Amino acid sequence: MIILFLHSSSDLYGASKIMINSIELLVQKGHRCIVCVSSKGLMSEEVTKAGGELIYIRLGVLRRKYFNLPGFINRLFFISLSVLKLIRIVRKEKVDLIYSNTTGVLSGAIVSFLTRTKHLWHIHEIIQESKLFAKFLAWAIKNLSDVTIVVSNEVKKHWNSLYPFKKNKIKVVYNGINLSKFNNTCPKLRKELQINDETLLIGTIGRIHYWKGQDYFIKLANRIYKKYKNTKFVLVGDAFPGYEYLYYELQSLIQQFEMENVIIYLGYRNDIPDILSSLDIFILPSILPDPFPTVVLEAMAAKKPVIATAHGGALEMIVDQETGILIPWDNINESFEKIIPVLEDTYKRREMGEKGFIRLKKFFSLEKYKSNLICEINNLF
């Protein structure tokens, strides 16, 4: 079978990592995977390693910055252009399945309709900014895909609330990660940053975006540091091109709290397992529902307690007070009070980390993800 993957970016964050897992699996099963993205990036080498074939077409990816009239015209032009190019590829390569990874890529749905090619839409998002736009996407997902895979029940509820799906049209397939990457980690970050073992090291990792809550993390760090001086914080991740101003806003907030020597911004890193092995606590501070953050699975694989805002996929990933702690996304003082036991108790942190690892292996293994994905693809043919 020949599968054409369409993806919204060339980064190596959650949705990209999951797609690479899918490509690796399908290539192993004897399928040919052609992967189309708008530009080269960090993901390109990983796709090649997984056995995928890369092509570059500007797909007219849907992003928030285009939610205006000039942006709409811009996207309409590039989506139309990409559709024409993709139709030629589908026909030339005799593509059997178009696999749209994320809602940011609309071209695959249009091409599948025009060429009568099977279409699988893998949804990693909960969109709350524009109800009208979200409803349009929900209509497209329902009517222009043969099967829709979503990464959590929270994502399923969200899209069903916008445009009810038929019972068997939308399926929950939890992401999984490769645990072997966490077998021989090296906690080198403390040495790199000259932080001793007695210092409590707390971190967050993720694409810098207004809803990802890095500013909430900084405010919470400020509250923690007021009482616990023996703490340091690391912030890992970069911004989409065109959103670099968000980094400067975060830097300004750090300076406002006079925490330049306490909160360390590391930018993009490709040694996430090593970074997580150096942390005592991982925090997911999203201020809007995070659909199913892969980084939480990575923190669980590293046997770290996860503190996460209580919405989105985190509600399905974390058992509150057992594998981590769920906190409000809009109340710093309440969040701080809830996490005091974890800040003060080394044994509790270790116990939560161990229980999180057990839960990961039971519900979110890479093997289970691959099995469920193959099942859904096979059902299409």
Coil, helix or strand for 352? helix
**Residue 237, phi-psi category: left (phi > 0), alpha (psi -120 to 50), beta (remainder):** left
Q: Is 338 helix (H, G, I), strand (E, B) or coil?
A: helix
Reduced to 3 states (helix: H, G, I; strand: E, B; else coil), residue 378 is: helix
CA nearest to 283, candidates 366, 363, 223, 241:
223
pLDDT tens for residues 344-378?
999 999 999 999 999 999 999 999 999 999 999 99
Question: Each residue of 69-110: pLDDT tens digit?
Answer: 888 899 999 999 999 999 999 999 999 999 999 999 999 999
pLDDT of residue 68: 82
- All structural domains of the chain: 2-176+365-379 (3.40.50.2000), 179-363 (3.40.50.2000)
DSSP string for 149-196? EESSHHHHHHHHHHSPPPTTTEEE----B-GGGGTT---THHHHHT--
Q: Are 276 and 185 in contact (CB under 8 A)?
A: yes
List CB contacts of 234: < 8 A, sequence separation 6 or more.
189, 193, 201, 202, 203, 204, 263, 264, 265, 266, 275, 279
Q: Which amino acid is at 322?
A: E
Alpha helices in 29-162 (DSSP H): 42-50, 69-93, 107-115, 131-143, 153-162
54 vs 313: CA distance, rounded Å: 31
Q: Taking a C-beta distance cutoff of 8 angstroms, is the pair 179, 361 a contact?
A: yes
Question: Measured on CA atoms in the order 334, 337, 343, 347, is the torsion positive or negative?
Answer: negative
What is the distance in angstroms between the CA of the first residue and the CA of the last residue of the chain? Answer: 10
In this predicted structure, what is the pLDDT of residue 167?
67
Distance of CA 207 to CAs 53, 247, 336, 341, Å? 26, 11, 24, 28
Spans of the chain, pLDDT less than 50: none
Ordered alpha helix ranges (H), 163-290: 189-193, 214-227, 245-256, 272-278
d(CA 79, CA 328): 39
Classify 244 in phi/psi space as left (phi over 0), alpha (psi -120 to 50) or beta.
alpha
**CB-based contacts of 123: which residues, under 8 Å, 6+ apart?**
102, 103, 141, 148, 149, 150, 151, 155, 159, 291
Please give the helix or strand (H or E) that residue 201 lies within, else none.
Answer: strand 200-205
The token duo for 101 is: 């990874």
- How confident is the model at residue 186, as a pLDDT? 85
Contact (Cβ atoms closer than 8 angstroms) between residue 149 and residue 122: yes
Q: Which of 3, 8, 10, 17 is nearest to 44 (CA)?
A: 10
Contacts of 240 by beta carbon, 8 Å cutoff, 6+ apart: 9, 63, 207, 209
Strand arrangement, sheet containing 147-150: 53-56, 32-37, 2-7, 97-101, 118-123, 147-150, 170-172
CB-CB contact of 322 with 354 (8 Å) = no
Phi, psi of 259 (to 5 degrees): -120, 25
Burial of 158 from C-beta contacts in 10 A (0-12 / 13-18 / 19+) = buried
